[in-house]
C-alpha cells in the first residue's frame, strides 16, 4: 500500500526530518535577508520615473472676445447646423448673429415681458436640416390669461428668415402676474426628446401638483406630446420630474448615465441653489401656505424619497443659470466639466461631475469680469459662449480654451 510507505517510518526519524527542514528554512531566510540587505547598500538610488502614458496637468488658458454688445438681457444662445448663432432677448426678439451683426428673425406679438418673464429659452431641432424647426419658451397672452408656452417655429433653409409659427406645442405652463419664477429653459437631450425646465410661478400648489406643468421637468416629442418613460401614474403624461422651484439651466450627457440624462440648475429660495440629476422623481420643493419659502429646497422630512441634489450652494444662494458640459480636448483637464453661469455672484462656475454622479473639483472663473452670466452654450467650434445679463449693453462673449 502506498500509504504505508510514507507513514510507516518511526516517529523519531520524522522528528529529525522536521528539525533539518526547519534549519534549512531558517538558513534560506537568513541568506535571502543578507542578499536583500547587501542589495540595498549597493543599488544606486533610483531616478524618478516619468510614465509615458500619463499627461501632465493640463489646465487650459482661456481667451475671451466680445461677439456682439448692445443687447438687452440676452437669455439664450443656440447654433444652427450651419453654425449661425441665434439668440433670444427677454424683451421678445429672436435674432441671428452673423459677423458681429444682429438681424431680427421674429418677435411674437403675444409675448408678455414682465419681471423675470418674457422671451426665454431657445433650442434648435436636432433634425433642423430636414424640418427647419427652432423652439422658444416665453410668457404669452395668446389665450387671454398669461401662460408660459413652448412654440415651434419654422425657418427657411439657411435660417435667415421666419417661414411661420408652426405650432404652440406646450401651452398652459403657469405664469405669475409679476413674471416671477417663469423658468424656462429648453433643450433636446441625447434621447432626442425636448426637455423643458419650468418655474413654479411663485404659487405654493404647483410644484407638487402632478396635473400642473409648473415646477416641473417636462419631456416631450417635437409635437409637444409626452413620451413613454415619463413619470407615469396619475401625472400629466408630459411630466418627467416634479418638486422643482425654478429651473434655469439644463445640460445633457452624450448618453444616459445610471438613469440620468444630464443635470438641471435650479434657483433656491434664500438658500440652496441646486444642481440636480435629470432622473424621475420628486425633488422635494413644497412651499407652505401663502408661498411660505422658509422650507428646505429638498424637504426630506416631508418627502423621505425626495431626490437629493448633486450640488447645492448652501446659504446664501448665488443664482445659477445656463449650463453646459465642456467637450473637446482643447479643454484639457476641464473636458467633461459642467460650466454654469452665475447671476448674483457674477462668475462662471466649473464643476467636475464624476461618472458615478459625485462631485470633484469646483472652480470660479471670470470672477466679476463680465457681471451677471445668464446663458452658457457650447458652440459647434468647441468654444463656450456666454451671455451677460446686466441690463445695459449686454454682450455675448466667446471663451476659447487652449492647451499650452
Whether the CA torsion 181, 185, 191, 193 is positive or negative: it is positive
Name the strand (E) or helix (H) holding 19: helix 11-42
Q: Which is nearer to Ca ion, 183 or 284 (CB)?
A: 284
Q: Which is nearer to Ca ion, 140 or 276 (CB)?
A: 276
Site string for Ca ion, 270-289 (x = CB under 5 A): -------------xx-----
Closest separation in Å from C-beta 220 to Ca ion: 22
Q: Which is nearer to Ca ion, 139 or 312 (CB)?
A: 312
Query: What are the cell numbers at 372?
Result: 451677471
Closest separation in Å from C-beta 62 to Ca ion: 31
Taking CB atoms within 8 Å and a gap of at least 24, the contacts of 365-371 are 365/62, 366/64, 369/64, 370/64, 370/346, 370/395, 370/397, 371/346
Closest separation in Å from C-beta 57 to Ca ion: 35
Closest separation in Å from C-beta 266 to Ca ion: 7
Q: Which is nearer to Ca ion, 245 or 346 (CB)?
A: 245
**Collapsing DSSP states into helix, strand and coil, what is residue 81?**
coil
Closest separation in Å from C-beta 190 to Ca ion: 23
Q: Which is nearer to Ca ion, 67 or 297 (CB)?
A: 297
Residues 149-208 that bind Ca ion (CB under 5 A): none
Distance (Å, whole) CA 197 – CA 219: 9
Closest separation in Å from C-beta 273 to Ca ion: 10
Closest separation in Å from C-beta 283 to Ca ion: 4
8 Å CB contact between 273 and 244: no
Task: Give the binding-site size for Ca ion (rule: CB under 5 A).
Answer: 4
Supply the DSSP symbol for 244.
-
Q: What beta strand segments (E) does 51-146 contain?
A: 61-71, 74-79, 85-89, 94-98, 101-106, 119-124, 133-140
Considering the rule CB under 5 A, would residue 297 count as an interface residue with Ca ion? yes
- How far is residue 167 CA from its own chain's centroid? 28
Which of 182, 212, 247, 298 lies at the binding interface for Ca ion (CB under 5 A)? 298
Site string for Ca ion, 236-275 (x = CB under 5 A): ----------------------------------------
Distance (Å, whole) CA 39 – CA 53: 30
- Contacts for 23 with CB less than 8 Å, ≥ 6 apart: none
Q: Which stretch binds Ca ion (CB under 5 A): 109-117, 122-130, 206-214, 298-306?
A: 298-306
Q: Which is nearer to Ca ion, 283 or 334 (CB)?
A: 283
Query: What are the cell numbers at 255?
Result: 448618453
8 Å CB contact between 292 and 285: no
Residues lying near Ca ion in the complex (CB under 5 A):
283-284, 297-298
Amino acid at each position: 500500500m502506498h500509504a504505508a510507505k510514507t507513514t510507516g517510518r518511526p516517529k523519531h526519524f520524522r522528528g529529525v526530518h522536521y528539525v533539518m527542514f526547519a534549519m534549512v528554512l531558517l538558513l534560506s531566510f537568513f541568506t535571502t535577508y543578507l542578499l536583500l540587505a547587501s542589495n540595498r547598500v549597493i543599488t544606486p538610488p533610483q531616478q524618478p520615473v516619468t510614465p509615458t502614458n500619463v499627461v501632465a496637468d493640463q489646465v487650459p488658458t482661456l481667451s475671451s472676445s466680445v461677439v456682439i454688445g448692445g443687447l438687452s438681457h440676452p437669455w439664450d444662445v443656440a447654433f444652427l447646423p450651419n453654425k449661425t448663432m441665434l439668440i433670444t432677448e427677454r424683451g421678445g426678439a429672436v435674432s441671428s448673429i452673423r459677423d458681429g451683426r444682429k438681424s431680427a428673425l421674429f418677435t411674437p406679438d403675444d409675448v408678455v415681458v414682465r419681471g423675470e418673464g418674457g422671451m426665454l429659452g431657445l433650442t434648435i431641432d436636432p433634425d433642423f436640416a430636414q424640418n427647419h424647426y427652432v423652439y422658444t419658451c416665453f410668457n404669452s397672452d395668446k389665450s387671454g390669461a398669461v401662460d408660459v408656452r413652448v412654440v415651434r417655429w419654422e425657418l427657411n433653409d439657411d435660417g435667415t428668415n421666419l417661414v411661420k409659427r408652426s405650432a404652440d406645442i406646450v401651452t398652459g405652463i403657469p405664469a405669475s402676474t409679476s413674471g416671477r419664477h417663469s423658468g424656462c429653459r429648453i433643450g433636446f437631450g441625447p434621447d432626442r426628446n425636448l426637455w423643458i425646465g419650468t418655474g413654479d410661478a411663485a404659487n405654493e400648489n404647483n410644484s407638487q401638483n402632478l396635473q400642473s406643468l409648473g415646477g416641473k421637468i417636462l419631456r416631450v416629442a417635437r409635437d409637444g406630446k409626452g413620451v413613454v418613460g415619463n413619470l407615469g401614474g396619475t401625472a400629466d403624461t408630459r411630466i418627467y420630474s416634479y418638486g422643482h422651484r425654478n429651473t434655469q439651466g439644463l445640460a445633457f450627457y452624450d448618453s444616459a448615465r445610471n438613469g440620468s440624462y444630464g443635470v438641471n440648475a435650479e434657483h433656491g429660495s434664500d438658500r440652496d441653489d441646486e444642481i440636480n440629476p435629470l432622473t424621475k422623481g420628486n425633488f422635494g420643493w413644497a412651499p407652505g401656505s401663502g408661498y411660505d419659502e422658509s422650507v428646505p429646497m429638498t424637504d426630506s422630512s416631508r418627502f423621505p424619497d425626495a431626490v437629493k441634489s448633486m450640488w447645492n450652494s448652501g446659504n446664501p444662494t448665488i443664482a445659477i443659470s445656463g449650463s453646459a458640459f465642456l467637450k473637446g480636448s482643447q479643454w484639457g483637464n476641464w473636458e467633461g466639466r459642467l460650466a454654469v453661469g452665475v447671476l448674483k455672484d457674477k462668475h462662471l462656475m466649473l464643476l467636475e461631475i464624476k461618472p458615478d454622479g459625485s462631485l470633484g473639483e469646483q472652480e470660479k472663473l471670470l470672477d466679476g469680469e463680465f457681471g451677471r452670466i445668464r446663458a452658457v452654450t457650447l458652440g459647434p467650434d468647441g468654444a463656450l459662449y456666454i451671455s451677460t445679463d446686466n441690463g445695459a449693453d449686454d454682450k455675448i462673449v466667446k471663451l476659447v480654451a487652449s492647451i499650452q
